Structure 1
Amino acid sequence: MRLALLLSAALLPLATAAHAAEEAAAPSVSQDETADPIIVTAARTNLPVTALPLTAEVIDRETLERQLQISGSVVDAVAALTPSFSPSRQKLTGQGETLRGRSPLFAIDGIPQTAPLRDGSRDGFTIDPFFIDRVELILGSNALQGIGGTGGVINQVTVSAPAQDGWSARTILQGTAESGFRSDGFGGKVGALVANRSGAFDVVVGAAYERRGVFRDGEQRRIAPDGTQGDLMDSDSLSFFAKAGVELGSGVRIEAMGQRFHLQGNGDLIAVAGNRLAGLPSTGAPGTIDGEAPENLAESLALTLTADDLAGGALRVRGFWNRTADIYGGATFADFQDPAIAPQGTLFDQSQNISRKWGVNASWERGFGPLNMVFGVDLLNDHTVQKLAATDRAWVPPTDYRSIAPFTQANLALWDGKLRLAGGVRWENVEISIPYYQTLWFYGPQQVGGGSPSFDRVLPNGGIVIEPARGIRAYASYAQGYTVPDVGRITRAIRTPNVDLDTFLEIEPVVADNREIGVEFARGPIEASATYYWSDSDRGQLLVLVGDVFEVQRQRIEIEGLELNLTTKTPIPGLRLGIGYAHLNGQVDTNGDGIVNADLDGANIGPDRLNLSADYTNGPVNLRLQSRTHFARNFEGGDVRNNFGGYHLLDGSVTVATDVGSFTLAAQNLLDRQYIDYNSDTQRPADNLRFFAGRGRSVTLSWLGSF
């Protein structure tokens, strides 16, 4: 794998040679040399991303809208465009979806959506994508946003009012059908945003409603619903969004944002077992589920103060509040049984995860000649409980998380920015408070002594950037990412008597060391990049299936990977081609001797992948074809029944811009391929009920209007 370094180093001279040949044929000024620098707000600095020793990507509004018309969700858009993101499950849950083999931190305008104490795995579905202007991705473990970014950061930046005075509006009308055009597969979406700027004041408000029909596989069978974790298909969502700001003069601005997202399944589809040995996936049949249908509710409020010239620097302070309430499907799971309530095997229940958090992110940035400095502090409080709703039992005890994290970052530009040295430190000071509690009957029950374990850790980062000419750069970096393990999964599953949480090592934090080397080239018609990275954590977090549920095991984890990307214009006017490749290898120490000895399984790491794309624009018409090849993978040291067979998908879209808006006809899985989704193919080899097929061809017709 170390040969990947040679591949990375080789890309730069190859791309430079290609550019030199192109310049010799037709000298011109590169578009990249005149474009505005890209700022990634999730990086907590106003410096352009080219000044930072990390891998970052921005999915702009045009690209995001095209992907949303193909698939409908931000998670699917990221999964389609980012080779190192694992295949989307096409379900309401994101359990097992990773970025570079680790869990990413989802955020909305920097507001963390992940619950640090009990990860409900629904953090990718907390806002309607109609309200998103762009998506910022920072790949690799880092502590820039605090807790949770061991795989990277996926920051969804919301829309803003227009830059000029006056009114504007944006609307969407959308209809979706499965191949075969059966009535239960029809879905639709309607949404509107209205914005106004009047002098110092601006406001934008919007609402969106979406109805999702039944999904079908490539052989026209209804795909089975995920009755426990929840499903996107056969569901309805209603969302509201508002943002208002006022300029107070001298670069001072106050802005408020609020949004509410509510998605609920219709509960009229039940799963029918398939047959793994015969390759027959589970299917869905009309019926009424027991209990409440899975539901997801997310609400966020934020108040932001910015002052562009305070003591010679730029101040940014954001206070936020966030609440999520998730209901999961019920059953007579073994974990839920209690003979004191009902005969064993008959007790039906369903869990509900409720999390409330508030926090403050504050930073001040100033340049001192060639030195740029950022000073800041982040505060975060989270209160989480997981209940069994039908019997009002606490599965995860009420748990509080408190974090105080001051940080500083420095970036020194030498030789007119051709060489940059960057680095910083973040001090995480964490306390977790859990009262005395009793586990469910299934686990003993055990009497667990409460406590307030605390941790503090200095998390360093540093790197070097070399940019000999605009559009050509190389970098190397080291950064630590930090999170706590899924405390809820750990505390609810304690089977040992007389545990004292003040000394219980299983809830110590996960610290991931990330190192990467990258080169990038963006000149003329060519944009190319290569990144090699490797990361490890001494006490990583591994999801292991025990009975009906996943539990957390703390084991050493080592991951390494290679990412290659290339896009280029062609001699055909308007035609642009792209290729992206990701290789990922992860291993774990299963026997506790400190040496990794088995592959990470499909619940914890994604497959290697190749992305190909072609975009053609001619006047008002744009056409796009994109393919995703997920390569087969065998997991050494695991159950051979969980080896992955691989699959290939093709998507396409046609957009026509007119005076009354743009019309798009898009298709996901254009060739209607039949396949088993990655998570199902690599997990639960004896479970015929959760053997989910991937979605077959779906067709979406959209109208986007701007006024």
Structure 2
Amino acid sequence: MRSIIFLAPALIGMALTASAQQAVLKGSVKTETGDQLPFANISVAGAKTGAVADRTGAFILKLAQAGTYKIKVTSVGYKGTEQTITLLPNDTTRQDITLTGNGDLQEFVVSASRKRETLDEVPSSITIVGAKDLAIQQGISNNISNILANAVPGLGFSSNTTGNAGQTLRGREVLVMIDGVPQSTPLRNGGRDIRSIDPSAIERVEVIKGATAIYGNGSDGGLINYITKKATPGQPLSGQTTIGANTQLKNAQHTGGWQVGQLLSGSYKKIDYVVSGHYEQTGVYKDAKGVVLSPDYGLGETQLWNAYAKAGYSINTNNRVEVMYNFFGSQQRSDYILKKGRYPDTAAIGVFGTRPGDPEGTPYNHNVNVHYSSQKIIGNTDLDVNVYYQQFYTVFSWGDSFKDGGQSTISSDKKGVRINLSSSFRAGNNIAGDLVYGLDILNDKTAQKLTDGRIWAPEMSMRNLAPYAQLKTTFFKHLVFKAGAGYENISIDVPDYTTIISMNNKTGLYTEGGKNVKGGTIDYNALVFNAGLRYNELKYFKPFISYSQSFSVNELGRTLRSANESTVSLLKTKAIIANNYEAGFNSTLGRIDLEGSYYISTSKLGANYTLVEGRFEIAREPIKIHGFEIAADARILKNLGAGASYSYIEGKIDANKNGQYNDKEDAYILGDKIAPPKLTAYIRYQPVKQLNLRIQMLQAGARDRFAPDAATGLYTYGKGPVKQFTVFSFFSDYNIDGHSSVQLGVDNLFNKDYYTVTSQWNARNENFIKGSGARVNINYTYKF
């Protein structure tokens, strides 16, 4: 007892001495571009202590004694760093640390789980088209449909028109968004959602492939999210001015066009901003032989406007509010009219004439988004709230399929709120994760009318409440497990209406429509799931597997407009639940990056067009789609690189609904959903520091799955065989000085004469059009 009494003061003294020697290291981890790097690992050489940066990149490391230590900081996709730091006793040392990308998956993605994370944390296929790739493709063609067709494996081919018919993602419809605001009109898909913003306002494009459970209606094939430009940090004013011209290389008369764009950006204290404007005027578009292309849905003689503004205010280090507005408009004013071709021998072309009706195109697409974010609003929980509004209106070409002729339009007004929370957690040193959860509220009013007021598809008013949750857990730093669910609660009001009188395409007589249909309310309730697993420790092989579902009320408007029943309640309006199964990998082998995936997509109900007595109807049989994608990029030399990708998709309909897809009654899915194989390749070379050169290739493979009609000997819609063709393009960028540069791009470099993929499977005389001939694009850019 006495010894304990004498020992106690000594022990207390030692404890007080140790406490007095304690030291604290406090700081933040950032990327080389100044962005916050969340969840980096901070460790001390030779010690068991450590810390993990929070969602803002901030960390606090407490050490028992002061002294000099080697601090190691690592993060997935970045080069680790070691720094020697001296910590003073009974003091806090501040040290910010910067990590640079290692060339392997260092990019972030926000669309996959509604939160910022590295690609190594996502167990699914993702393609990110960054600012550099966007600039290259934009230098060849300013059409965003062309840009994505060249850059995204699994996405269908561009139609070389104002629409994106047939440009599906893995054989399914895709949900298009701008900063998370939906642009697609799944209630009546008009195929103009991909071309809903100008590339000049886009910083990057995130493409999430496969059915998506947490984004709601219309994402059967995945989603395309246009992430708009942000302010340049640390500068009160910077900007970029672009002027350019373009023209055909053969028979160039009347083909000249021009464009001008201005961007201003800056930040001052707690405020940052971006403002940009872009205007483009195109000339006549011609094929490789110098013949004017069909003006219907054409890109020629078109005016395009885009105005964009974003302003942010950082209330404090944890709270920020941001407001974004984007206007996109495109209208064609052509001096040509359509002269029908003769499939499969003669192309549809444009001839001089006065076009009837209103100018074709998208007169306006307004997007407003107010975003509020709060980090650590409660403990380790972050909050994001988006309030948005979208107003969209598009006009199609005049046609004689309506009695007395007419011109179709689609209008859509969306109002919505997205509330998203993310709570991070740790369980010891080997388990970390976060839970993302929230609620989507959406009101979507969509209608298809003629410009003279006649109703083709009545205004559908959809109300959607969709709660969701997504759990991500990382085990031992390298095994990532994800699982989540979304609940769709949808109510759609349809008024009484009368179907429009239209032509029977088989007889040529105006015998369709005129049916009085009683409206009503259509309700949907569905719970969809997703789960995935990724292992990312081995740089040379990072595999993943995933399962995901999606829900969509696809093409309800088309069902309504062709109704033969007297009331909406009798129509076939069941929703589609798609199931996506996928396995894939990413690898880095020295200077070579590889990625590949195989997938299967099934649904008990399809949404495929079919011709019945000369009119389009929706077939609802089960479908199965499968395919694979593989891509490679090689850094051959410091100034020389190359890459390639290959995509294959195929799908069939279970016509007799017996669960098998190889019976004689079963059939292949039409070409408007299933694209032929796609091969892309490029070579880049930098002969001197100021000059970058690139040549790229796009090849459409052959797909011939259908026989012509037994009675007429002709192919019907969607069944035309697609023949292989290959198109090359060229891009160069010469940096004159630190501010000025000149870009030269040539689309269809060797002036290939070919028919587009869309025109081939379409197999109709009026849609049988060729691709554009060689077209040169020259731009001058000044940055300050």
For normalisation by structure 1, the TM-score amounts to 0.90
The residue that corresponds to 1:456 in the other structure is 525
In structure 1, what is the Cα distance between the partners aligned to 2:458 and 2:726? 44
Structure 1 residue 85: Cα displacement:
1.2
Which of 664, 667, 690 is the aligned partner of 1:598? 667
Say if 2:499 is the partner of 1:420.
Answer: no
Cα deviation per residue 1:257-309 (whole Å; 9 max; x = unaligned)?
111111110032111122334x3211111211111121202111010001122
Say if 2:443 is the partner of 1:381.
Answer: yes
Q: Which amino acid aligns with 2:754?
A: Y
The residue that corresponds to 2:619 in the other structure is 553
The residue that corresponds to 1:669 in the other structure is 748
The residue that corresponds to 1:396 in the other structure is 457
In structure 1, what is the Cα distance between the partners aligned to 2:366 and 2:769? 30
Cα deviation per residue 1:298-354 (whole Å; 9 max; x = unaligned)?
111010001122112221110100011111122221xx22xxxxxxxxx12111211
The residue that corresponds to 2:352 in the other structure is 286
The residue that corresponds to 1:348 in the other structure is 405
* Displacement over 6 Å in runs of 4+: 28-31
Which of 429, 433, 454 is the aligned partner of 1:371? 433
Which one has more relative contact order, counting CA pairs under 8 Å at least 6 apart?
1
The residue that corresponds to 2:781 in the other structure is 704
Q: Which amino acid aligns with 2:769?
A: F
Contact 2:250 2:774 (8 Å CA) reproduced: no
The residue that corresponds to 1:7 in the other structure is none
In structure 2, what is the Cα distance between the partners aligned to 1:482 and 1:198? 44
Q: CA RMSD in A?
A: 2.0
In structure 2, what is the Cα distance between the partners aligned to 1:314 and 1:355? 32
In structure 2, what is the Cα distance between the partners aligned to 1:599 and 1:705? 51
The residue that corresponds to 1:4 in the other structure is none
The residue that corresponds to 1:298 in the other structure is 365
The residue that corresponds to 2:723 in the other structure is 645
Alignment of 1:282-681 (within 5 A): 282-296=348-362, 297-311=364-378, 312-333=380-401, 336-337=402-403, 347-369=404-426, 370-390=432-452, 392-416=453-477, 418-442=478-502, 443-470=512-539, 472-496=541-565, 498-499=566-567, 501-504=568-571, 506-545=572-611, 550-570=616-636, 572-592=637-657, 594-596=659-661, 597-617=666-686, 618-636=688-706, 641=715, 642-659=720-737, 660-681=739-760
The residue that corresponds to 2:186 in the other structure is 116
Contact 2:522 2:569 (8 Å CA) reproduced: yes
| Aligned length in residues | 658
Structure 1 residue 594: Cα displacement:
5.0
Q: Which amino acid aligns with 1:372?
A: D
Which of 255, 268, 279 is the aligned partner of 2:335? 268
* Partner SS for 2:762: coil
Structure 1 residue 553: Cα displacement:
2.3
The residue that corresponds to 2:93 in the other structure is none
For normalisation by structure 2, the TM-score amounts to 0.81
Cα deviation per residue 1:3-40 (whole Å; 9 max; x = unaligned)?
xxxxxxxxxxxxxxxxxxxxxxxxx9998537783221
In structure 2, what is the Cα distance between the partners aligned to 1:319 and 1:106? 17
In structure 1, what is the Cα distance between the partners aligned to 2:471 and 2:153? 31
The residue that corresponds to 2:109 in the other structure is 40
In structure 2, what is the Cα distance between the partners aligned to 1:349 and 1:211? 27
The residue that corresponds to 1:688 in the other structure is 765
Cα deviation per residue 1:571-625 (whole Å; 9 max; x = unaligned)?
x431111011111111113455554411112111100111111111231211111
Q: Which amino acid aligns with 1:584?
A: I
Contact 2:747 2:774 (8 Å CA) reproduced: yes
Contact 2:550 2:579 (8 Å CA) reproduced: yes
Structure 1 residue 449: Cα displacement:
2.0
Say if 2:160 is the partner of 1:75.
Answer: no
Structure 1 residue 52: Cα displacement:
1.3
Q: Which amino acid aligns with 1:164?
A: G
Cα deviation per residue 1:414-452 (whole Å; 9 max; x = unaligned)?
112x21211011111111110122212344422222111
The residue that corresponds to 2:174 in the other structure is 104
Which region of structure 1 is more displaced relative to structure 2, 169-178 or 549-558?
Answer: 549-558
* Higher gyration radius (CA): 2
Contact 2:602 2:622 (8 Å CA) reproduced: yes
In structure 1, what is the Cα distance between the partners aligned to 2:148 and 2:355? 32
Structure 1 residue 72: Cα displacement:
1.0
In structure 1, what is the Cα distance between the partners aligned to 2:348 and 2:302? 19
Cα deviation per residue 1:125-165 (whole Å; 9 max; x = unaligned)?
22121111111111111123222111111111111111113
Q: Which amino acid aligns with 1:412?
A: T
In structure 2, what is the Cα distance between the partners aligned to 1:372 and 1:189? 46
* Partner SS for 1:328: strand
Q: Structure 2 vs 1, CA of residues 247 and 561 (structure 1 numbering), >3 Å: closer, same or farther?
A: same
Which region of structure 1 is more displaced relative to structure 2, 30-39 or 363-372?
Answer: 30-39
In structure 2, what is the Cα distance between the partners aligned to 1:124 and 1:33? 32
| Percent of residue pairs identical | 28
In structure 2, what is the Cα distance between the partners aligned to 1:154 and 1:275? 36
In structure 2, what is the Cα distance between the partners aligned to 1:691 and 1:181? 21
Structure 1 runs not aligned, ≥5 long: 1-27, 338-346
Contact 1:612 1:626 (8 Å CA) reproduced: yes
The residue that corresponds to 1:94 in the other structure is 164
Q: Which amino acid aligns with 2:445?
A: H
Q: Structure 2 vs 1, CA of residues 423 and 622 (structure 1 numbering), >3 Å: closer, same or farther?
A: same
Structure 2 runs not aligned, ≥5 long: 1-79, 82-98, 427-431, 503-511
Contact 2:320 2:373 (8 Å CA) reproduced: yes
In structure 1, what is the Cα distance between the partners aligned to 2:513 and 2:349? 36
In structure 1, what is the Cα distance between the partners aligned to 2:449 and 2:370? 31
* Partner SS for 2:702: coil
Structure 1 residue 219: Cα displacement:
1.3
Contact 1:669 1:698 (8 Å CA) reproduced: yes
Structure 1 residue 706: Cα displacement:
1.4
Contact 1:110 1:145 (8 Å CA) reproduced: no
The residue that corresponds to 1:19 in the other structure is none
Q: Which amino acid aligns with 1:72?
A: N
In structure 1, what is the Cα distance between the partners aligned to 2:612 and 2:291? 30
* Partner SS for 2:419: strand
Cα deviation per residue 1:44-81 (whole Å; 9 max; x = unaligned)?
12221211111111111111011011111221111012
Contact 1:323 1:356 (8 Å CA) reproduced: yes
Structure 1 residue 388: Cα displacement:
1.6
The residue that corresponds to 1:246 in the other structure is 313
Structure 1 residue 503: Cα displacement:
5.0
